[in-house]
Amino acid sequence: MAASRPNQLFRNKSAKIAAIPMIATALVVFLGGTIWTVAHSFTSSKLLPKWDLVGLTQYERLWGTRRWLISIENLMIYGVCMLVFCFVIGFVLAALMDQKIRFENTFRAIILYPYALSFIVTGLVWQWILNPEFGLQHVIRSLGGNRPPAECEGVGLSLSCWLSGIEFDPLYNPRIAIYGILIAALWQGTGLIMVLMLAGLRGIDQEIWRASRVDGIPAWKTYLFVVIPMMRPVFVTTLVLIGAAIVKVYDLIVAQTGGGPGNATEMPAKYVYDYMFGGQNLGQGFAASTMMLLAVLIVVIPWAFMEFGRKNRG
Amino acid sequence: MEPSISIRHLDLSFGAVDVLKDLNLDIGKGEFLVLLGSSGCGKSTLLNCVAGLLDVSDGQIFISGRNVTWEEPSKRGIGMVFQSYALYPQMTVEGNLTFGLKNAGMPRAEIAERVERAARILQIEPLLKRKPAALSGGQRQRVAIGRALVRDVDVFLFDEPLSNLDAKLRTDLRAEIKELHQTLGNTMIYVTHDQIEAMTLADRIAIMRGGLILQLDSPKEIYNRPANKYVAGFIGSPSMNFFEGVVDLGGAPVFSCEAGDFDLSGYEFGAAGPQGGPAWLGIRPEHIAHGPDAAACPVRMEATVRLVEPLGSDTLARVQVGERLLWIRLDGQSSIRPGDTLTIGWHAERANLFDSATENRI
Ligand SMILES: Nc1ncnc2c1ncn2[C@@H]1O[C@H](COP(=O)(O)OP(=O)(O)O)[C@@H](O)[C@H]1O
Ligand SMILES: [Mg+2]
């Protein structure tokens, strides 16, 4: 009886053979690379990897470095703001777009367009826009006639003086520079989120909307209690996309501020890169990237358990 | 009968496309009206206008004597059931039934009472705590009907409620809807493209085509005296058989075509009286007699059997008369075979005549 049953291992043989190169690549590159990196984070590698174990020294140094601590803090601020705003703005834009407006395609293209640009371009564009000498601040001050401060002394309430004195230079102010980055990232990122959410909204049966109108449910309540719960899969997808974009943010910083002013806009990914290839301190870079991996795993593993564990039961 | 719903000179267009044109319709209190027509003829559009889900381009709609043309759907006193059920998937059955009532601020006790009543009528009490995903299609549609029921309204609107169900369930739920109507006595408008549903459920059927109502009558009248050739061909399966020819009123009325001259004495002409000239003669497969019965018919001919389709309850056969192929319906136990010859015939009062140019009944 058991002999007549074909071996499970050899079912769909050709498909399995075809998948072998991909599986091998994934194992060697991702898993192998990861293990190699984690292992070498316990060594004193400098310019070249060297198998010279020094225990947790690299980690002690990492967590004693001010730049790393600032990077972590920046990532937190940037991450939370990016997640919340990208999500909310993306959804609201999609909901507005879903009201059967005219020129929908045009609007959608305009809002999605920034996503087609590379982070380098976005960074440069917003560096210019936020530059006090010729960017937004300059434009607003010009509206007020660009009156010098001396002229305005003791003038009291005056629109032109107020406009001429306005200050908007986030990239030059260490306390708020990270928000300058955030603006650029939102400008680039929300378009994609909006399009995904719009696709999700369009996937909702029109008859659900009709039923809720017959029931007399106001539109906002329908969104809140019916539509949003139905869009869970889309939300998970967008969450993964935004999350990945947050953790790996690097090129935007390089193009927009180079991490400055001072260390004000440093990010973990940039720390890793700078130490591995700029500072010729591979061990330190490996330690930092291991910490990033750890942080991602702490978020992903419980989520994966929740998501897939539940499916098995349900 | 006092009209429950009146539709006056209703126009509706999507941009440049006129879907409904100057449509008038009165539906009596407690009447079961079925809108029947092929896909795309504007049935759903008409129903959505009555529900208030589409803004009409022109005309008026009255429900229970009130002009509701510009009222919100929820204020019109209607409940609606959709083809895709349109249940709120993240809520339990109970949540689905109560969402609208809670939103309207109805007292808890009354909500509970209404849900209890609806659940009892529809026999969905054991399902109240389940989510729609855990229900079968038939159960889901019952819940959707329940959602209309708890609204305690005078008018129920159904948009192809059974089209997503399999054949067996469709038959069962069809009977339940008919029973529901008999119990509640509400006015119901029911959209379908299925003629069996229309015939079995309706007090009156409105047959639509291209945004117009071609005939509005009882199922019996529509079956027996279709107002035009389209209706005649649409109702009945297999379709009515047609002959193209000329009505000759010279002596005794006769219809002559290439298959022969058919006696028309006994045919009941319309109100306009007998009318000669080019016409179509239509005869339903089940009205064609055969064998010994055919001998008594004034119209008789010889036919050769080409194809036999036994259905169990009866047998369909395609027979050839001259160049013409006709469908006839025989007894289920019939043992005829392709190649057999057989005498067929019919009585003139069973035939239908339609003018060639206007396709209207004469
Ligand atoms: N939103 C719309 N925009 C443009 N045309 C529409 C729209 N909805 C329906 N139509 C057209 O109106 C006609 C009638 O549609 P409908 O009432 O849904 O038909 P059915 O009788 O199958 O229910 C169809 O030809 C359809 O193409
Ligand atoms: Mg329809």
* Beta carbon of B211 within 6 Å of any ligand 1 atom: no
Mean pLDDT, residues A167-193: 85
- How far is it, in rounded angstroms, from Cα A301 to Cα A292? 14
Q: Which of A295-309, B204-218, B258-272, B343-357 shows the lowest per-residue confidence on average (mean pLDDT)?
A: A295-309
| More confident: A166 or A29 | A29
Q: Which residues of A touch B78 (CB under 8 A)?
A: 214
**Architecture of the B232-355 domain:** Beta Barrel (2.40)
Residue B315 — very low, low, confident or very high, per pLDDT cuts 50/70/90?
Answer: very high
Distance of alpha carbon B362 from alpha carbon B356, whole angstroms: 10
Q: B14 CB less than 6 Å from ligand 1?
A: yes
Computed over every residue of chain A, the mean pLDDT equals 85
Domain ranges of chain B: 3-228, 232-355
Q: What is the pLDDT of residue A162?
A: 77
- The per-residue pLDDT for A4 is 64
pLDDT, tens digit (0-9, with 9 covering 90-100), for A132-158: 778 888 888 888 777 777 777 776 777
Asked whether the predicted pLDDT for residue A1 surpasses 60, the reply is: no
Amino acid at site A246: I
Q: Kindly determine whether residue B82 and residue A210, on different chains, have CB atoms separated by under 8 Å.
A: yes
Q: Which residue's alpha carbon is nearest to atom 5 within ligand 1?
A: B14
Residue from the list B52, B73, B86 with its beta carbon closest to the beta carbon of A208: B86
* CB B282 within 8 Å of CB B354: yes
Across B298-302, average pLDDT = 89
- Here the tokens at position B297 are 């018919």
- Substitution target in A207, A209, A214 with the highest count of B β-carbons within 10 Å is A214
**Pair B347, B298: CB distance under 8 Å:** yes
pLDDT(B324) > 80: yes
Amino acid at B314: D
Distance CA B174, CA B198 (A): 10
Interchain pair B100, A215: CB under 8 A? yes
Q: What is the pLDDT of residue B1?
A: 56
| A111-126 mean pLDDT | 84
pLDDT of residue A312: 53
Mean pLDDT, range A296-309, rounded to an integer: 81
pLDDT at A311 over 60: no
Secondary structure, 3-state, A55-71: CCHHHHHHHHCHHHHHH
Nearest to B12 by CA among B46, B44, B61: B46
| B353 pLDDT tier (thresholds 50, 70, 90) | very high
**Closest residue on chain B to A229 (Cα):** B90
CA B126 to chain centre: 33
Name residues 126-145 of chain A within 8 A of B (Cβ): none
For each of the domains in chain A, give its residue range(s) and CATH number, in order of start: 66-131+169-313 (1.10.3720.10)
Ligand nearest to the CA of B35: 1
Q: Which CATH superfamily is domain B3-228 in?
A: P-loop containing nucleotide triphosphate hydrolases (3.40.50.300)
Ligand 1 pocket member B88 (CB < 6 A): no
3-state secondary structure of A1: coil
- The pLDDT, as a whole number, for residue B50 is 94
Lowest average pLDDT, out of B30-34, B98-102, B332-336, goes to B332-336
Question: A6: pLDDT confidence band, cut at 50, 70 and 90?
Answer: low
A110 pLDDT more than 90: no
Sort A30 into a burial class: Cβ within 10 Å, 0-12 / 13-18 / 19+. exposed
Give percent above pLDDT 70 in chain B.
Answer: 100
Distance CA B39, CA A63 (A): 70
Q: Which residue type does B339 have?
A: G
Is the per-residue pLDDT at A3 higher than 60? no
Predicted local confidence at residue A313, as pLDDT = 47
Identify which of B11, B41, B189 to mutate to test ligand 1's pocket (most ligand atoms within 8 A of the CB).
B41
What is the SS3 string spanning chain B?
Answer: CCEEEEEEEEEEEECCEEEEEEEEEEEECCCEEEEECCCCCCHHHHHHHHHCCCCCCEEEEEECCEECCCCCHHHCCEEEECCCCCCCCCCCHHHHHHHHHHHCCCCHHHHHHHHHHHHHHHCCHHHCCCCHHHCCHHHHHHHHHHHHHCCCCCEEEEECCCCCCCHHHHHHHHHHHHHHHHHHCCEEEEEECCHHHHHHHCCEEEEEECCEEEEEECHHHHHHCCCEHHHHHHCCCCCCEEEEEEEECCCCCEEEECCEEEECCCCCCCCCCCCCEEEEEEECHHHCEECHHHHCCCEEEEEEEEEEEECCCEEEEEEEECCEEEEEEEECCCCCCCCCEEEEEECHHHCEEEECCCCEEC
pLDDT in tens, B121-140: 999 999 999 999 999 999 99
Q: Is the CB of B229 under 6 A from ligand 1?
A: no
Q: Would the pLDDT of B268 be above 50? A: yes
- CA distance between the termini of chain B: 30
Give, for ligand 1, the residue of B17, B39, B82 to mutate: max count of ligand atoms closer than 8 Å to Cβ: B17
How far is the C-alpha of B178 from the C-alpha of A215, rounded, in Å? 24
pLDDT band at B106; cut points 50, 70, 90: very high
Question: Is the separation of the CB atoms in A144 and A159 below 8 Å?
Answer: yes
Residues 6+ apart with CB under 8 A from A248: A269
Q: How far is B53 from chain A (nearest CA, A)?
A: 7
Interface contacts (A, B; CB < 8 Å): 66
DSSP secondary structure code for residue A53 in this structure: B
Least confident of A119-123, A149-153, B183-187, B230-234: A149-153
Is A229 touching B (CB cutoff 8 A)? yes
Binding site membership of B17 for ligand 1 (Cβ less than 6 Å): yes
Q: How many CA atoms lie within 13 A of B121 on its CB side?
A: 23
Residue B172 to residue B179: CA distance in whole angstroms: 11
- Enumerate the residues of chain A whose CB falls inside 8 A of the CB of residue B53: 210, 213-214
On chain B, the residues whose CB falls within 8 A of the CB of A213 are 52-53, 72-74
Positive or negative, the CA dihedral B193, B195, B197, B201 is positive
Average model confidence (pLDDT) across chain B: 92
| pLDDT value of position A177 | 86
Nearest CA in chain A to B52: A214
pTM, full prediction: 0.82
- Dmax of chain B from CA atoms? 77
- Nearest bound ligand to CA B12? 1
pLDDT-wise least confident of A2-16, A223-237, B286-300: A2-16
A87/chain B closest Cα distance in angstroms = 21
Give residue A212 CA to ligand 1 midpoint distance, Å: 21
> For chain A, how long is the longest CA-to-CA vector?
101
- pLDDT above 90: residue B216: yes
Interface of B to A at Cβ within 8 Å reads 48, 51-53, 72-75, 78-80, 82-91, 99-100, 103-104, 144, 147, 151
Please write the tens of the pLDDT for every residue from A45-103: 887 888 877 888 888 888 888 888 889 899 999 999 999 999 999 999 999 988 877 88
Residue A159, pLDDT above cutoff 80: no
pLDDT, residue A314, reads: 40
Whether residue B47 has pLDDT greater than 90: yes
Q: Which ligand is nearest to the CA of B82?
A: 2
pLDDT at B69 over 80: yes
Ligand number nearest CA of B38 is 1
Which residues on neighbouring strands pair with residue B87, listed in sequence order? none
pLDDT at A43: 85
Please answer whether residues B105 and B185 qualify as being in contact, where contact means their C-beta atoms are separated by less than 8 angstroms. no
User: What are the C-alpha distances in Å from A298 to residues A74, A102, A191, B204?
Assistant: 19, 45, 29, 66
Q: Which residue's CA lies nearest to atom 6 of ligand 1?
A: B14
